A = this chain, B = another copy of it.
Amino acid sequence: MASLGELERAVMDLLWAGHEAATANTLRDLLAQDSAAVDGNAGHQGKDLAVTTVLTVLSRLEKKGLVERERGTRPHRYQAVSSRADHTAELMHEVLGSAPDREAVLARFIGSVTEGEAATLRKLLGYN
């Protein structure tokens, strides 16, 4: 239920970028950043969307619980509820799910992780 469309993801990317810096974005900010992304960026094309389009997407993201909106200030301020890393990790858990074969899944998962990441994981799992 937490899958994102292409544009939704693009918007979340902008909001996530601001999440680190605890930035509260206005619609204008987002549109500006989006246009700026035209240069260089391979992923999303800065398609010069209508403002209402982005607004709609923001509303949908809010309904999905991914975005929080400050309604007090006049240009409302939008921000990601959680960091991209948190969100992604949550998604991973969702995918892993409550299958009866969780451990088998983890085994396969670990099997195809880079050595560097394996090292990171060892560190994270603590020294037994």
Residues of A within 8 A of B (CB): 3, 83-86, 88-93, 95-97, 99, 101-112, 117-118, 120-122, 124-128
Contact, CB under 8 Å: A95 / B97: no
Given contacts A88-B96, A92-B92, 16 further A-B contacts (CB under 8 A): A84-B99, A84-B101, A84-B105, A85-B108, A88-B95, A89-B105, A89-B106, A89-B109, A92-B95, A103-B117, A107-B124, A110-B121, A118-B125, A121-B125, A122-B122, A125-B125
Contact, CB under 8 Å: A103 / B89: no
Contact of A108 among B89, B104, B105, B128 (CB under 8 A): B89
Contact, CB under 8 Å: A92 / B105: yes
